Amino acid sequence: MNSIFVKIPRWIQRIFNKQDWSIKTEGKEIYLTFDDGPTPEITEWVLDQLALYNAKATFFCIGKNIEKHPEILRKIIAEEHGIGNHTYQHLQGWKTKTNEYLNDILKTEKLLRKHPLKNSVKLFRPPYGKIKRAQVRKLLSKKYKVVMWEVLSADYDHSISTKKCLENILKNTSSGSIVVFHDSIKAKKNLQFALPRTLEHFSKQGYIFKSIS
């Protein structure tokens, strides 16, 4: 696996404190998130797994995928999950001019606002987790909540085993953790192994799974 943080250190969270890395809670609550959908080959499977545990999650959707598969977005919303913006073209913020980046996000926002979203707050997650401070400031001024993550499953990484993907989650997740998966073809193998076991493991320990609002 590439040298990445599976669990984001507190010092990073403190430096970039305008973004949300976890959720303050006194209860046993976990916040599962899914990036890069909607994807016909995997998103509906994810929804079925979540339904088995009455689990709610948040889906950070790519605009061009929403255009291709609006029926899946409608199903996510109908099942009362949260929806967030993940840009239209999956742009890397560090490599993109701020105005171009914002316009790409707003293009996706127009698509999302055609639907009755559960979450009242506008949610945004930067692809690759890479975003400039100026881009964060612009988004905050437009009343977005910029959502990062505390725990990275690394389900997209073909160099790790399915068991390692699951281990990333089970060893690092606790109350209030925001955990990131990907409902994408690239992540399918690891996701299909790790997600059901994650839901089962934490449900047995009395946790509930909530969407970000």
- Do residues 111 and 66 lie in contact, with contact meaning Cβ atoms separated by under 8 Å? yes
Count of residues in the chain: 213
For residue 169 the two structure tokens come to 């989650």
Comparing CA positions, the residue from 181, 54, 64 lying closest to residue 125 is 181
115 is catalytic: no
Alpha-carbon gap, residue 36 to 151, rounded angstroms: 17
Identify the active-site residue in 69, 81, 86, 182. Answer: 182
Alpha-carbon gap, residue 185 to 95, rounded angstroms: 24
Alpha-carbon gap, residue 47 to 40, rounded angstroms: 11
Alpha-carbon gap, residue 156 to 182, rounded angstroms: 7
155 is catalytic: no
Identify the active-site residue in 20, 35, 104, 183. Answer: 35
Alpha-carbon gap, residue 176 to 32, rounded angstroms: 10
Active-site positions? 35, 182
